[in-house]
Chains A and B, each alone.
Chain A
Amino acid sequence: MNESKIIHFLQHDKQDKAFRRLYKYYPKVEKHILINSGSKEEALDIFQDALVILYQKVQNMSADSPIKIDGFLINTCKLLWSNELRKKKVRTGDDSGLGRLEFKDEIEEQMEKEEKFKIIEDVLQKLGEKCKKILEMFYFKSFSMENIAKKIGYKTVKSAKVQKYKCMESARQMALEMSHLSASQAGSNTEMS
Chain B
Amino acid sequence: MRAELEQVEQIEKYLLNQMSAEEKVEFESHMNTNEQLKQKVNAQQAVVGAIRRMGVKTAAASAYGAWKLRRWLMRASVSILIAGALFGSWYAWTMVNSEEDCRDCTKIYESRINSDAVEDHAALPDNCCQSYEDYRSTREVQSDIQPDEFHPFGFELILDTCVDESPDSEVVEEQSGNHVSNSNNVVINNEGDDIGVTSEFENAVFGADSVSVNDITESEKKDNQQAKTYQPDDQLLKSIQDKNDLKNGRIDEQPGFPGGESALQEYLWKNMNYPLGAQYRKVEGTVYVSFTISKTGDIMNTIVVKSVDRELDKEAKRVVSEMPKWEPGKRDGKPIDLRYTIPVQFILGVPDTL
Is B118 part of the binding interface, using a Cβ–Cβ cutoff of 8 Å?
no
Question: In the bound complex, how far is the Cα of B47 from the Cα of A141, in angstroms?
Answer: 15
Contacting pair B46 A16 (CB below 8 A): no
> Is B39 close to A, CB under 8 A?
yes
A80 cross-chain contacts in B, Cβ below 8 A: none
B50 to A, closest residue via Cβ: A120
User: B27-59: which residues lie under 8 A (CB-CB) from chain A?
Assistant: 39-40, 42-44, 46-57, 59
Residues of B within 8 Å of A85, CB to CB, are none
A interface footprint on B58-80 (CB within 8 Å = 1, 0 otherwise): 01111110110010000000000
State the main secondary structure of chain A at its contact with B: helix
Q: How far is the CA of A124 from the CA of B53 in the complex (A)?
A: 11
Q: Is A101 an interface residue (CB 8 A)?
A: no
Is the pair A16, B62 in contact by a Cβ cutoff of 8 Å?
A: yes
Contact B59 A121 (CB under 8 A): no
Please indicate which of the listed interface residues B8, B9, B49, B59 has the most CB atoms of chain A within 10 Å of its own CB: B59
Known: A140-B54, A176-B39. A48 touches B46 (CB 8 A): no
B234 within 8 A of partner (CB):
no
Chain A residues near B64 (CB, 8 Å)? 23, 26, 44, 48
Query: B120 on the interface (CB 8 Å rule)?
Result: no
Which B residues touch A55, using CB under 8 A? 56, 60
The yes or no answer to B5 lying at the interface (CB within 8 A) is yes
Chain B facing A: main interface SS: helix
- Which partner residue on chain A sits nearest B53 by CB separation? A117
Residue A114 interfacial (CB < 8 Å): yes
Flag whether A15 is at the interface (Cβ < 8 A).
yes
Contacts of B51 in A (CB 8 A): 124, 132, 135-136, 139-140
Most chain A CB neighbours (cut-off 10 Å) among B8, B49, B50: B50
Interface residue? B1 (CB, 8 A): yes
B63 contacts A139, CB within 8 Å? Answer: no
- Per-position binary interface string of chain A over residues 100-126, scored 1 when its CB falls under 8 Å from any chain B CB and 0 otherwise: 000000000000001011101101100
- Contact-residue size bin, chain B (C-beta under 8 Å from the other chain): 20 to 34
Binds B, one of A31-39, A61-69, A163-171, A184-192: A163-171
Mark contacts of B1-22 with chain A using CB atoms, 8 A cut-off: 1 yes-contact digit, 0 otherwise: 1001100110010000000000
Q: Are A116 and B59 in contact (CB under 8 A)?
A: no
Report how far A56 CA is from B1 CA in the complex, Å: 35
- Given A16-B59, A26-B67, A52-B60; A169-B8 close (CB under 8 Å): yes
Q: How far is the CA of A9 from the CA of B129 in the complex (A)?
A: 60
Known A-B contacts A19-B59, A52-B60; A172 and B53 likewise in contact (beta carbons under 8 Å): no
Q: Across the interface, which residues of B come within 8 angstroms of A15, CB to CB? A: 56, 59-60, 63
A140 touches B9 (CB 8 A): no
A51 adjacent to B60 (CB under 8 Å):
yes
CB distance from B205 to the nearest CB of A (A): 60
Q: Which of A19, A132, A176 contacts B43 (CB 8 A)?
A: A176
| A interface bracket (residues with beta carbon within 8 Å of B) | 35 or more
Q: For residue A176, which residue of chain B has the nearest CB?
A: B43
Contact present for B46 and A168 (CB under 8 Å): no
Query: Given A19-B63, A23-B64, is A168 in contact with B50 using a C-beta cutoff of 8 Å?
Result: no
CB-based contact A169/B5 at 8 Å: yes
CB-CB under 8 A from B1, the residues of chain A are 162, 165
Q: How far is the CA of A93 from the CA of B30 in the complex (A)?
A: 50
State whether the Cβ of A175 lies closer than 8 Å to any Cβ in chain B. yes
Q: How far is the CA of A22 from the CA of B39 in the complex (A)?
A: 37
B61 contacts which chain A residues (CB < 8 A)? 48
Cα A26 to Cα B68 with chains together (Å): 11
Chain A 155-181: CB-based contact to B (< 8 A → 1; otherwise 0): 000000110011011011001100100
23 residue pairs of the A-B complex, CB under 8 angstroms, read A20-B63, A20-B67, A20-B70, A22-B63, A26-B64, A48-B64, A55-B56, A56-B53, A116-B46, A117-B49, A120-B47, A121-B50, A121-B53, A135-B47, A136-B51, A140-B55, A161-B9, A165-B5, A165-B8, A166-B5, A172-B40, A175-B46, A176-B43
Interface residues of A (CB under 8 A from B): 15-16, 19-20, 22-24, 26, 44, 48-49, 51-52, 55-56, 114, 116-118, 120-121, 123-124, 132, 135-136, 139-141, 161-162, 165-166, 168-169, 171-172, 175-176, 179
Besides the contacts A51-B56, A179-B43, what 18 more A-B pairs have beta carbons closer than 8 Å?
A16-B59, A16-B62, A16-B63, A19-B63, A20-B70, A44-B64, A51-B60, A56-B56, A116-B46, A117-B50, A121-B54, A140-B54, A140-B55, A141-B55, A168-B44, A175-B46, A179-B39, A179-B46
* A-B complex: 8 closest residue pairs judged by Cβ atoms: A140-B55, A19-B63, A23-B67, A120-B50, A51-B60, A175-B43, A165-B5, A48-B60
